[in-house]
C-alpha cells in the first residue's frame, strides 16, 4: 500500500480556481477523508490524486514517485464511484474478475484471487448469481470486490454511500471501515457529511472554497478548529461563536465579556479588533456564581443529553447538558465556559489565535 503526498496542488477551470494550493499527506494504511460542503473542491482534488484530472500546478507523490502528469492507468489505484456500474450480463464472479481478465492474468490465479476477495467480503455464496437481482448492499460489495481484486496501492472513493438510506448507510460505513482495516489498505474518501468523516476517518482534510482549512485527526479538528469555518462546519450543533470587539495580548488568561471574567487557555498571540470566542455546546456549563448570564429560550430532549438554547449578550448559544439537568424555558442562569476547551478567533482573518490549548494542533495542521 502507499503514502500519498500532495504539495501546492492547484486546479483552475478557465478563470475559476476550484482548488488552491492544497498541501497534505495521506500516510500508508490510513483511512483519509476529504470533507467539505458542496462545491468546495473535494471531488476535483480526488480526481487529480487519481489521475482523472490534470492539475494546473503542484505535485502528487505516490510512494515517492511523482505522478501528477501520469494517467490513472499508470498509478495503480482503484476508484470506487457513487454509482456502481456493474456489468448486467455478467454474474457476480465475472464482474469481480473482469479487471484481471482484462489484464490477461492466468485463469487459476484469477480463480484464487476472486475466492480470496469473495471471502473478505462474505459473498462466496453468490458468485454464480446474476447481478440483476442483488440487494443494494451486495451490489456495493461486488463493486468493491472488483476494486479490491486488482490489489491496487490505494482506494479512492467519492461519496460511495451517498445513494443509500440512513440505516443501511451506517451499516455499510462500518463494513467499509472494517474491510479497509483487514486489508491494511490506503483509502481516500470524499464526503460532505461531517459525522461520516468523524466516525470513519483516521485523518480529515476540511476544505472550503478550494482551500484546505485544516488537516488532522478527527479529535483535534473537533476540539481545536483552526478557523471559524471549521468551528461551524464540524459538530452538531456546531461550536458556539460569541463575537465581540476587544484587545487580547499574548500571555492573557482572562477576558471580560459583558462585565464577566472568562478564563481562557493562556494565549500565545494577541489581537486587537474583531474577535470571537468559540465554545462547544458540551463545554457550556450552568454555574450560578458566574456573572455571565443567559436566558433559556428552548430545550430539546435527546435521550441521554438535552440541547438547551440560550439568549446571551452575544447572541444565541447552545449548551449540551445531561438530560436530567434542570433547565426550563424562561429561566435566567449563570454560564461558565470550560477554560481548557476555548478557542479565540480573529473575525477578520477567521483564523484561531494560538493558545496553550491549540498550539500543538495548529503547528501540525
Ligand atoms: P460536490 O460534493 O457538489 O461534488 P465538491 O466539493 O466535490 O462538490 P467539485 O466537484 O470538486 O466540488 O467542484 C469544485 C468547483 O469546481 C465547483 O464550483 C464546480 O462547479 C467546479 N468544477 C468542477 N469541475 C469542473 C469543470 N470540469 N469545469 C468547470 N468547473 C468545474
CATH code of the domain in which 321 resides: 2.40.50.140
The set of cell numbers assigned to 271 is 489581537
Asked if residue 237 and residue 216 are part of one domain, the reply reads: no
pTM for the predicted model, two decimal places: 0.90
Asked if residue 186 and residue 274 are part of one domain, the reply reads: no
Asked if residue 175 and residue 59 are part of one domain, the reply reads: yes
Average pLDDT over every residue of 12-39: 96
Whether 36 lines ligand 1, by a CB cut-off of 6 Å, is: yes
Q: Mapping DSSP to helix (H, G, I), strand (E, B) and coil, where does residue 7 land? A: strand
Hey, how many other C-beta atoms are within 10 angstroms of the C-beta on 290? 17
Average pLDDT over every residue of 132-142: 84
Torsion over CA: 282, 356, 315, 256 (sign): positive
Q: What are phi and psi of 66, to 5 degrees?
A: -75, 120
Atom of ligand 1 nearest to the CA of 190: 7
Whether 274 lines ligand 1, by a CB cut-off of 6 Å, is: no
pLDDT at 79: 83
Asked if residue 274 and residue 209 are part of one domain, the reply reads: no
Closest listed residue to residue 365, CA positions, set 189, 195, 205:
205
Q: Whose CA is nearest to atom 10 of ligand 1?
A: 43
Which residue shows C-alpha cell 439568549? 311
Asked if residue 156 and residue 55 are part of one domain, the reply reads: yes
Q: Is the pLDDT of residue 23 over 60?
A: yes
Asked if residue 93 and residue 242 are part of one domain, the reply reads: no
Average pLDDT over every residue of 168-183: 84
Q: Predicted confidence band at 48 (pLDDT cuts at 50, 70, 90)?
A: very high
Asked if residue 173 and residue 103 are part of one domain, the reply reads: yes
Whether 15 lines ligand 1, by a CB cut-off of 6 Å, is: no
338 in Cβ contact with 240 (< 8 Å):
no
pLDDT at 83: 55
Asked if residue 210 and residue 236 are part of one domain, the reply reads: no
Asked if residue 207 and residue 68 are part of one domain, the reply reads: yes
Asked if residue 217 and residue 258 are part of one domain, the reply reads: no
pLDDT by residue (tens digit) across 325-360?
A: 999 999 999 999 999 999 999 999 999 999 999 999
Examine the fold and report which residue of 206, 222, 238 is the final residue of a domain before the chain moves on.
222
pLDDT at 1: 59
The set of cell numbers assigned to 181 is 482495516
Q: Whose CA is nearest to atom 18 of ligand 1?
A: 39
The percent of residues in the chain predicted with pLDDT above 90, rounded, is 76
Atom of ligand 1 nearest to the CA of 210: 14
pLDDT at 217: 96
Q: Predicted confidence band at 13 (pLDDT cuts at 50, 70, 90)?
A: very high
Q: Predicted confidence band at 84 (pLDDT cuts at 50, 70, 90)?
A: low
Whether 294 lines ligand 1, by a CB cut-off of 6 Å, is: no
Torsion angle of the four alpha carbons 283, 285, 290, 295, in this order, in degrees rounded to the nearest 10: 110
Examine the fold and report which residue of 202, 222, 242 is the final residue of a domain before the chain moves on.
222
Q: Is the pLDDT of residue 2 over 90?
A: no
**What is the number of structural domains in the chain?**
2
| CATH number of the domain bearing residue 121 | 3.40.50.300
- Stated as kind and residue range, the H or E segment containing 92 is helix 92-103
Q: Is the pLDDT of residue 82 over 70?
A: no
Average pLDDT over every residue of 147-155: 87
Full residue range of the structural domain in which residue 165 is found: 4-222
Whether 54 lines ligand 1, by a CB cut-off of 6 Å, is: no
pLDDT at 178: 87
Q: Is the pLDDT of residue 81 over 70?
A: no
Report the C-alpha gap between 227 and 353 in whole angstroms. 9
Asked if residue 239 and residue 190 are part of one domain, the reply reads: no
Q: Rounded to the nearest whole angstrom, what is the distance from the C-alpha of residue 346 to the centroid of ligand 1? A: 29
Examine the fold and report which residue of 164, 188, 222 is the final residue of a domain before the chain moves on.
222
Contacts of 222 (CB under 8 A, 6+ apart): 198, 234, 235, 280
Average pLDDT over every residue of 50-70: 93
Question: Comparing 129-138, 183-192, 313-322, which segment has the lowest mean pLDDT?
Answer: 129-138
Q: Is the pLDDT of residue 49 over 90?
A: yes
Q: Is the pLDDT of residue 162 over 90?
A: no
Asked if residue 232 and residue 193 are part of one domain, the reply reads: no
Give the end-to-end CA distance of the chain in Å, rounded to a whole number: 24
Whether 41 lines ligand 1, by a CB cut-off of 6 Å, is: yes
Q: Rounded to the nearest whole angstrom, what is the distance from the C-alpha of residue 320 to the centroid of ligand 1? A: 36
The set of cell numbers assigned to 339 is 477554560
pLDDT at 39: 94
Beta-strand relationship, 16-26 and 4-13: antiparallel
pLDDT at 182: 83
Amino acid at each position: 500500500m502507499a503514502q500519498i503526498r500532495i504539495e501546492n496542488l492547484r486546479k483552475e477551470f478557465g478563470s475559476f480556481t476550484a482548488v488552491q494550493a492544497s498541501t497534505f499527506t495521506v500516510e500508508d494504511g490510513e483511512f483519509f477523508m476529504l470533507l467539505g460542503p458542496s462545491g468546495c473542491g473535494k471531488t476535483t482534488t480526488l480526481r487529480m490524486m487519481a489521475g482523472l484530472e490534470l492539475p494546473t500546478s503542484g505535485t502528487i507523490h505516490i510512494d515517492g514517485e511523482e505522478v501528477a502528469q501520469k494517467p490513472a492507468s499508470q498509478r495503480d489505484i482503484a476508484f470506487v464511484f457513487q454509482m456502481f456500474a456493474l456489468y448486467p450480463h455478467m454474474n457476480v464472479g465475472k464482474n469481480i474478475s473482469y479487471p484481471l481478465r482484462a489484464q490477461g492474468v492466468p485463469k487459476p490465479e484469477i480463480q484464487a484471487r476472486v475466492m480470496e476477495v469473495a471471502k473478505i467480503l462474505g459473498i462466496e455464496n453468490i458468485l454464480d448469481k446474476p447481478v440483476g437481482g442483488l440487494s443494494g448492499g451486495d451490489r456495493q460489495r461486488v463493486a468493491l470486490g472488483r476494486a479490491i481484486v486488482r490489489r491496487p496501492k490505494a482506494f479512492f472513493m467519492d461519496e460511495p454511500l451517498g445513494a443509500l438510506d440512513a440505516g443501511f448507510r451506517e451499516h455499510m460505513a462500518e463494513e467499509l471501515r472494517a474491510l479497509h482495516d483487514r486489508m491494511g489498505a490506503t483509502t481516500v474518501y470524499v464526503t460532505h457529511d461531517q459525522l461520516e468523516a468523524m466516525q470513519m476517518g483516521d485523518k480529515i482534510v476540511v476544505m472550503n472554497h478550494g482551500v484546505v482549512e485544516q488537516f488532522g485527526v478527527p479529535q483535534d479538528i473537533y476540539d481545536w478548529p483552526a478557523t471559524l469555518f471549521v468551528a461551524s462546519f464540524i459538530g452538531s450543533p456546531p461550536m458556539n461563536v460569541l463575537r465581540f470587539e476587544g484587545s487580547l495580548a499574548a500571555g492573557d488568561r482572562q477576558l471580560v465579556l459583558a462585565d464577566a471574567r472568562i478564563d481562557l487557555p493562556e494565549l500565545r498571540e494577541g489581537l486587537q479588533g474583531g474577535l470571537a470566542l468559540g465554545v462547544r455546546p458540551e463545554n457550556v456549563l450552568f454555574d450560578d456564581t458566574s456573572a455571565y448570564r443567559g436566558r433559556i429560550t428552548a430545550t430539546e430532549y435527546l435521550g441521554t443529553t438535552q440541547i438547551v438554547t440560550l439568549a446571551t449578550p452575544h447572541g444565541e448559544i447552545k449548551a449540551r447538558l445531561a438530560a436530567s439537568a434542570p433547565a426550563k424555558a424562561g429561566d435566567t442562569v449563570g454560564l461558565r465556559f470550560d477554560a481548557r476547551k476555548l478557542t479565540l478567533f480573529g473575525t477578520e482573518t477567521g483564523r484561531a489565535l494560538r493558545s496553550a490549548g491549540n498550539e500543538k494542533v495548529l503547528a501540525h495542521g
